[in-house]
Amino acid sequence: MSGQMDEGERGGLASAVRRALGPAVGGFAVLVVLALLMGLIRGDSDDSDPVAVAILFIALGLFAFGLMIAGGFLAAKGLRSESMKSGSGVFAVRMAVVLAIVLPVMTLVLGLLAATDTWERDSEPFIGVWLVLALVASVIGGFAPEPGRRGLLVIPFLIGVAALVLVLSEATGIT
């Protein structure tokens, strides 16, 4: 054994993992910075922001969500390119796919129930359960004994799904 890694697995990570994790985690970091900036600039004030500041906030938000969605698409492409080798990796991917189906369906159902005044309560308990399950799938995938740590692809995949569903639900008014 020569001890050399494949060109696609420098640093122990598969190239698909590096390509997907970068934008997803970067977009999430931009979103955190945006939240901090909004808190610092707005403070406790209910006054509207100057137009330039509002445009900056919108641009940063779109950039952050775009990065997260791009990372999710890259992760989905990486997950489709090669199947997982370990049982825990397969389980994490299957769980992530189920969660990727459940989130938009849940958002649509709760949004339609709210629009028809059938459901007047918050959806946060349902979203909280989804987030916990997404965290569980991410941890299982992250610790799966996969070559090139490919189980980590679950993390940007779920971040991208959540960002895409949030953008679409806000754009359509189904929140």
Number of other CB atoms surrounding residue 100 within 10 Å: 20
- Look-up of token digits 């698409």: 73
* pLDDT score of 109: 85
The pair of three-digit structure tokens given for residue 44, joined into one six-digit string: 């406790």
- Tens place of pLDDT for every residue, the chain, 175 residues? 334 444 445 558 888 999 999 999 999 999 999 999 888 887 666 667 678 888 888 999 999 999 999 999 999 999 999 889 999 999 999 999 999 999 999 888 888 887 787 766 676 778 889 999 999 999 999 999 988 899 999 999 999 999 999 999 888 877 6
* pLDDT score of 39: 83
User: In this structure, are residues 63 and 30 in contact, taking their beta carbons and an 8 Å threshold?
Assistant: yes
